Amino acid sequence: MSSLEYLKNNSLMKKFPSFRNDFVNGCWKWIEGKKIDDNAAGLWRVHDKLYDLTDFIPKHPGGRAWLEISKGTDITEAFECYHLSSRPRDVLENYCVGVATQERNYRYTFDDNGFYRTLKREIGQKMKSVDKSVEIKPKIIHDITLVAFLMSVVFVSQVQPNDYINANYIAPVIIAGLLLEWLVSMSHNFLHKADNWRMYTGNLSMAATRDMRTFHILSHHMYPNTYADLETTFFDPHFKWIPAEVKDLQYKIQSIAVHVNIHTLYFFNMLRMRIQGFFWGTAETFYWDDLVMFITPALIYTTGTQSSDIIEVIFKWLHIIIAASVFHVIGLINRGHHTTTTIHQGDEIFTYDFGEYQMNAVCDRSGANMNIFTILTLYGEQVLHQLFPSIDAAVLPQLKETLIATCKQFDIEMKKCSLVGSVVGQYKQMFRDELYIGKK
């Protein structure tokens, strides 16, 4: 078998994602490609049935956006991992309009006696006895961080114009950037839940809730480390975490050279995609919540001591975003997906069980699991989060024993590494070009 044929067959997806090699000019384009690839007949597909959920959109307890974004696609994976009770399945059947005529594009399996469904039953059972009062902690920590961020913006606004190369300016900008990065990471916990106001604080960074739900959740969470993982694609062709790509000397030098730019431009890139999508795309890219990002410049404008020079305001705002981008990218390369121990597109897949694949694609980093603050800011308890994304970050540690017990039952090993190990591992992964074949 030729290597191309091997890759085509040895993948979660049966089809190479449409538009995968096009310049990323919006999350909307990933959805457009998925609509082409998913054989969902313009409706919503769950396993092999088609559903018309148009009337259910306003009734969905998780909020409208999930179903609005995913119309015309196969939502099997999201449907399976976002709901622990049997109620969504009962509700779903009311909207069935037929059976799909073509096979599913994804090879994932959800066998009732397989690892994922068994674990889901165990976790569902355990959820009845966990202490849910801890869910208040992420809310309090998030709200304090939000207030601290807004205060730090006021500090930044106080510096006199043209006094940027000064510790009195740089220090508050760095603090504001760090607090903003924490907010983005903390809002991630709320992004995975039913619509709520805290998920919008991530928009202060210039990112957008809908885009994050698309590239991070519907793409990256569902198909991690594959060609269908848009979060992995963002950095192409500069960072190629997928081993089956050409990684010659030019790439290696280039990836190091652009590293710095990616650090500073990360959040601007999020806005760039929406602007490009607006002008050259075919779908809506701006929504009311895009206005959230203007809270920062508005605060600088209204609390600044100088005579509200608009250029000054914009400079200060952009400096904060750059600082937040740097911290975010430093955190991003530390999130346990791209290490040489995790499976990536092209590596041999030994099982297509949804849970087992996820276990092979994600690493548990003990340093990120230390306490609720590290879980929120460094994306701790990553394996459990990947398997059951709508469960609150504060509840996850109580479910660890159940995960370990079920892994034992199925003889599945949880991939583990230290925080430092995951950073080093991601660089090694960036340069790995040998596929793991015949190697678990």
Q: Candidates 59-67, 104-112, 234-242, 376-384: pick the segment binding ligand HEM (CB under 6 A).
A: 59-67
Which lies closer to ligand HEM via its Cβ, residue 192 or residue 344? 192
Which lies closer to ligand HEM via its Cβ, residue 85 or residue 113? 85
Q: Kindly state the smallest distance separating residue 250's Cβ from ligand HEM, in Å.
A: 40
Q: Kindly state the smallest distance separating residue 379's Cβ from ligand HEM, in Å.
A: 18
Kindly tell me which residue out of 56, 268, 278, 427 binds ligand HEM, with binding defined by CB under 6 A.
Answer: 56
Kindly tell me which residue out of 6, 18, 62, 367 binds ligand HEM, with binding defined by CB under 6 A.
Answer: 62
Distance between CA atoms of 440 and 14, rounded to whole angstroms?
Answer: 22
Q: Enumerate residues 349-408 that contact ligand HEM by CB under 6 A.
A: 390
Note whether 223 and 13 are within 8 A (CB). Answer: yes
Q: Enumerate residues 190-229 that contact ligand HEM by CB under 6 A.
A: 193-194
Distance between CA atoms of 255 and 122, rounded to whole angstroms?
Answer: 43
Q: Candidates 54-62, 235-243, 394-402, 421-429: pick the segment binding ligand HEM (CB under 6 A).
A: 54-62
Kindly tell me which residue out of 30, 79, 357, 388 binds ligand HEM, with binding defined by CB under 6 A.
Answer: 79
Which lies closer to ligand HEM via its Cβ, residue 222 or residue 329? 222
Which lies closer to ligand HEM via its Cβ, residue 44 or residue 169? 44
Which position's Cβ is nearest ligand HEM? 62
Q: How many residues lie near ligand HEM (CB under 6 A)?
A: 21
**Binding flag, residue 59, ligand HEM (CB under 6 A):** no
Distance between CA atoms of 198 and 58, rounded to whole angstroms?
Answer: 20
**Binding flag, residue 64, ligand HEM (CB under 6 A):** no
Distance between CA atoms of 272 and 24, rounded to whole angstroms?
Answer: 10
Rounded to the nearest 5 degrees, what angle is found at the Cα of 97, between the Cα atoms of 96 and 98? 100
**Binding flag, residue 75, ligand HEM (CB under 6 A):** yes
Kindly tell me which residue out of 28, 30, 82, 317 binds ligand HEM, with binding defined by CB under 6 A.
Answer: 82
Which lies closer to ligand HEM via its Cβ, residue 78 or residue 378? 78
Q: Candidates 80-88, 200-208, 238-246, 258-266: pick the segment binding ligand HEM (CB under 6 A).
A: 80-88
Q: What is the per-residue binding string for ligand HEM in 108-147, x denoting contact by CB under 6 A?
A: ----------------------------------------
Q: Kindly state the smallest distance separating residue 17's Cβ from ligand HEM, in Å.
A: 18
Q: Mapped to the 3 state alphabet, what secondary structure does the chain carry?
A: CCHHHHHHHCCCECCCCCCCCCCCCCHHHHHHHHHHHCCCCCCEEECCEEECCHHHHHHCCCCHHHHHHHCCCECHHHHHHHCCCCHHHHHHHCCEEEECCCCCCECCECCCCCHHHHHHHHHHHHHCCCCHHHHHHHHHHHHHHHHHHHHHHHHHHHCCCCCCCCHHHHHHHHHHHHHHHHHHHHHHHHHCCCCCHHHHHHHHHCCCHHHHHHHHHHHHHCCCCCCCCHHHHCCCCCCCCCCCCCCCHHHHHHHHHHHHHHHHHHHHHHHHHHHHHHHHCCCCCCCHHHHHHHHHHHHHHHHCCCCCCHHHHHHHHHHHHHHHHHHHHHHHCCCCCCCCCCCCCCCCCCCCEHHHHHHHHCCEEHHHHCCHHHHHHCCCCHHHHHHCCCCCCCCHHHHHHHHHHHHHHCCCCCCEECHHHHHHHHHHHHHCCCCCCCCC
Q: Kindly state the smallest distance separating residue 89's Cβ from ligand HEM, in Å.
A: 8
**Binding flag, residue 331, ligand HEM (CB under 6 A):** no
Which lies closer to ligand HEM via its Cβ, residue 135 or residue 433? 135
Q: Candidates 52-60, 170-178, 204-212, 245-253: pick the segment binding ligand HEM (CB under 6 A).
A: 52-60
**Binding flag, residue 57, ligand HEM (CB under 6 A):** no
- State the residues that interact with ligand HEM by CB under 6 A: 53, 56, 60-62, 66, 70, 75, 78-79, 82-83, 85, 87-88, 91-92, 95, 193-194, 390
